[in-house]
Amino acid sequence: MTAPVSIAQTQHPAGLSSGMTFLMAAACGLIAANLYYTQPLAGPIALDIGLPAEATGLIVTLTQIGYGIGLLLLVPLGDLLENRRLIVTMIGLVTLALIAAGLSTTPGPFLTASLAIGLGAVAVQMIVPFAANLAPDAARGRVVGNVTSGLMVGIMMARPISGLIAGLSSWHAVFYVSAVVMVGLGSLLWVQLPTRRPAAWMTYGQLIKSMGKLLATQPVLQRRAAYQACQFAAFSLFWTVTPLYLAGPRFGLGHNGIALFALAGVAGAIASPIAGRLADKGLIRPATAFGLVGVGAAFLMTQVATEGSTTALTLLTLAAILLDFGVTMTLVTGQRSIYELGAELRSRLNGLFMAIFFTGGAIGSALGAWAFASGGWWLASMIGLALPATAFAIFLTEKIDQERALKH
């Protein structure tokens, strides 16, 4: 077995260059977008491939299930295998799955391809800890923040882009265009990324088994995952419900108007580099508090004006920006915190953190759909407010736990 190399062979002497950081951020956005392209197209795709209307949700759900499985079973491999080869291999899997989805004309092949797209897209969560490992300690938060900004932009831009491409051509073209982009991206990353072989000596079984111990013994991971699960649940609730709310009789917006509203939320991605810099300055706790309070305030803002008014629409748009800002703020500070638990653990820690974070999002989407159907925007927004409020209540006990630990 080749001796492990813990420092990237082509790493810039002072850490990651700005060009390399930008490349990794762009890669995160482009790969993550594959998880969300089908969301606005699920109806037309189901009709075209002959999927029953009651099973349309499987188009999105199977992609998300694949991603969740990958977070737990594939992302930890970053602590065991050479990182560049692993990332490019996963991009190869995404590419094949995208082509298969585009070629599909019946439900079985398409749904299988959807699952594989989710599995391969976990390359995103291999890139973020890879960047953290390459970054010097003093700039780790900034690097993680910059790379995460690409991820958030990709998530927010995917829906309007897929709608635009499908409108100009067909839903098949969305998958083909993304496959071409993935081929170019994989080739570029293979040439540009440094090699990094972790100094880990264990079997795959031992690697996966160790994750349970990490979750049970690392209070920082437990707390940060709990905060972000609540935050992402609120985020998912908001973005599940607002298109329905805006298309309803109160606002009556069409497809283009809702797409423009979604684009406004991208502005919240500027929180990533800000959060990273605050973390590097030792301000993780106040940055976290701001992120949690910001998400709660975003939901409260939407209750100020009369529904359907111009003022209400303006406040809802500002709320979208503030909510995305707050969620991104706690995501970056959370990752910065867990990465400090050990360089040799970062991929496993990130897999656990993101799996819990992702589960919160799935719960938030389900809650949002139920709440809006049961009690309209008021009930949905009150549940949205309760989620960051719960995280903030847990956050307030953080200092108490730290003081107790010091006493012992």
In tens, the pLDDT along 184-222 reads 999 999 999 999 888 777 899 999 999 999 999 999 999
For residues 253 and 306, what is the distance between their CA atoms, to the nearest angstrom? 16
pLDDT score at 15: 59
Average pLDDT on 356-379 reads 90
Contacts of 164 (CB under 8 A, 6+ apart): none
pLDDT score at 404: 54
In contact, 181 and 319? CB cutoff 8 Å: no
Q: What is the DSSP string of 74-139?
A: TGGGGGTS-HHHHHHHHHHHHHHHHHHHHH--SHHHHHHHHHHHHHHGGGHHHHHHHHHHHS-GGG
Pairwise pLDDT comparison (13 vs 85), residue with the higher score: 85
Amino acid at residue number 232: F
For residues 39 and 23, what is the distance between their CA atoms, to the nearest angstrom? 26
In contact, 247 and 258? CB cutoff 8 Å: yes
CA distances to 57, 136, 140, 277, 278 from 282, in Å? 43, 15, 12, 9, 7
pLDDT score at 142: 87
For the CA atoms of the chain, what is the radius of gyration?
21
pLDDT score at 124: 95
pLDDT score at 407: 52
Average pLDDT on 28-38 reads 94
pLDDT band at 23 (very low <50, low <70, confident <90, very high): very high
Average pLDDT on 365-376 reads 89
Taking all residues of the chain, what is their mean pLDDT, rounded to a whole number? Answer: 88
Report the run of H or E that residue 10 belongs to, with start and end. none
Average pLDDT on 126-141 reads 88
Find the distance separating the first CA and the last CA of the chain, reported in whole Å: 43
Instruction: Give the number of other CB atoms < 10 A from CB of residue 50.
Output: 10
Question: Taking the mean position of all CA atoms in its chain, how far away is CA 394?
Answer: 22
For residues 98 and 104, what is the distance between their CA atoms, to the nearest angstrom? 10
In contact, 91 and 104? CB cutoff 8 Å: no
Q: For 83-104, how does the pLDDT look when each residue is reduced to its tens digit (9 = 90+)? A: 999 999 999 999 999 999 999 9
Q: Look up the pTM and report it.
A: 0.84
Mapping DSSP to helix (H, G, I), strand (E, B) and coil, where does residue 251 land? coil
